[in-house]
Chain A
């Protein structure tokens, strides 16, 4: 019987390629749409899980950047002193910048020269870190002082093989001094701890710009993730704050407004929960439209594939009739048809899965952390969808001809011997 299936498959190579291509196209398109949908859900889920103060009590601020930077920072500082406020901070995901090249060297040392990806890291002050539920596998988080040339870093847990907590890494560098001369300087990195795998870190920038970053919610905790604590001397970032004493929410929000007014800073804030609502509202129409398209593509692909599969088998009905006459029974014929379809759909499934996975990784990822998300979503949602779709096609395209053949008389299948 294996020989029959093999011959049957070899005899319809073009047909199989057509099936694979149709499915590949359909699956790729559906995956793209699915992915859009899942990634925004994923981001929301991640944020819900990782905000220390919860989505109801975490607010992000938006203010007029062009105004007085100094006053903004002053406002932030003063906000930190409000009684009952949890933390006010910022944490953003950055690609390697010139000033942090040293850290890149650490990574190179660790990963080897072949690693050509740019270093990505979270840059945050300790308050920013407090806003995310950071879990360390080793080390500590505190608010110890640090200066411009001493930076505290948290590394992905895989770095533990190489470094321990409180290790200092000194990398000589140079900088421009006030007189415009280049002077040597030692950059010191103190390793404060190692991040547990799978730990999420909220990118406050992404959170403050939710409309633009639907899938830009980063997760730290892979081997490469690195968090750098820095003094909050940089401005124009997306700041968020969390309220600890939730009974006093109204009061605290009022106080913040007062401080802003006093410092002449135009500022407004919205809770993360509210912004989720707004975001969902604004994407609702879009996603409904996407679901329609998705359904259409899925149905089309399933129909086309089933049609190809079924017509191929039915076109060969005389052959199956002869097999019946040769002594094969319904079970044998079902097995032959089912197995043949299974092999074709299996190949389709594997190829589609591989192509989609890589397509997603390349289209949707700029940063290493995004790959982690993409693969996670792929494994948790998309792979299952592909398998289910392929199984559905397999079932339809096997059951239809099998049922048909069962009902037909063998003589009619062969095509009549009177002709």
Chain B
């Protein structure tokens, strides 16, 4: 369970300060599927990055399953991320110099899983995502939809409880976007907590709960 209490994120600018998140409190239950909406610059990504341990709040407390994440040092935070969170990005964030197979394999290497086990898991996830034939190709040789499937396969391979997606359909046409959303729904059904940032009402409709951000505040 995610518990955010009075989270503040302040950026120092040349002319004063800017509150990207302005006292946000939010609870997210395990197994929930949540959509985060809001105008550009409202602080959605900032919120997601804090939940995922990619960024630290300036103020406030973030607890995950009663462990205080907001106080963690770098190494603990990295390990929290490794063992708990998987990200899916709008621009896929695949490493272009590595094959799809190798990209999907990365989180497993980080988790020190044996090679044979890795092979088994990567194969399975690629199969589920329907891109097993693309395993040996490089990201640039794939379509946007296929790349996002690969990115999701990577997120699934890690087998983490928390899947965070920052506009996963933003770079895709609406048909492909629907496919991807179906996948997320399936993932959520398998028991994982899914948080999706989106501008798309249709996407938000797939989720059990929608929160709206405006100028760093939940409205």
Contact = CB atoms under 8 A, between A and B. Distances in A.
Nearest to A321: B93
Of A3, A327, A328, A406, most B-chain CB atoms within 10 Å: A327
Contacts of B81: 324-325, 327
A7 B97 CA distance: 8
A328 B110 CA distance: 5
Contacts of B49: 409, 411
Interface in A291-322: 318-319, 321-322
Interface in B36-92: 45, 49, 54-55, 74-75, 78-79, 81-83, 87, 89-91
Contacts of B34: none
Max chain A CB contacts within 10 Å: which of B74, B75, B102, B110?
B110
Closest 3 CB pairs of A and B: A327-B82, A329-B78, A327-B110
Given A3-B102, A3-B109, A406 B89 contact: no
Select the residue from B93, B94, B154 with max chain A CB neighbours within 10 A.
Answer: B93
Contacts of B45: 411, 417-418
A331 interface: yes
A274 interface: no
Contact of A325 (B90, B93, B111, B167): B93
Contact of B106 (A323, A409, A411, A418): A323
Interface of A: 1, 3-4, 7-8, 11, 318-319, 321-332, 406, 409-411, 414, 417-419
B97 A319 contact: yes
Nearest to A413: B54
B207 interface: no
Nearest to B104: A326
Contacts of A332: 110
Contacts of B75: 329-331
A414 B89 contact: yes
A327 B89 contact: no
A109 to B, nearest CB: 60
Contacts, number: 78
B18 interface: no
A409 B57 CA distance: 12
A329 B79 contact: yes
9 contacts: A7-B98, A325-B81, A327-B107, A328-B78, A329-B74, A329-B75, A330-B78, A332-B110, A414-B89
B110 A417 contact: no
B158 interface: yes
Contacts of A409: 49, 54-55
A326 B166 contact: no
Given A325-B87, A326-B154, A328-B82, A7 B54 contact: no
Contacts of A329: 74-75, 78-79, 82
B111 A327 contact: yes
A45 to B, nearest CB: 52
B79 to A, nearest CB: 6
A327 B49 CA distance: 14
Given A327-B81, A331-B75, A417-B166, A322 B107 contact: no
B211 interface: no
B95 interface: yes
Contacts of B110: 323, 326-328, 332
Nearest to A327: B82
Contacts of A325: 54, 81, 87, 93
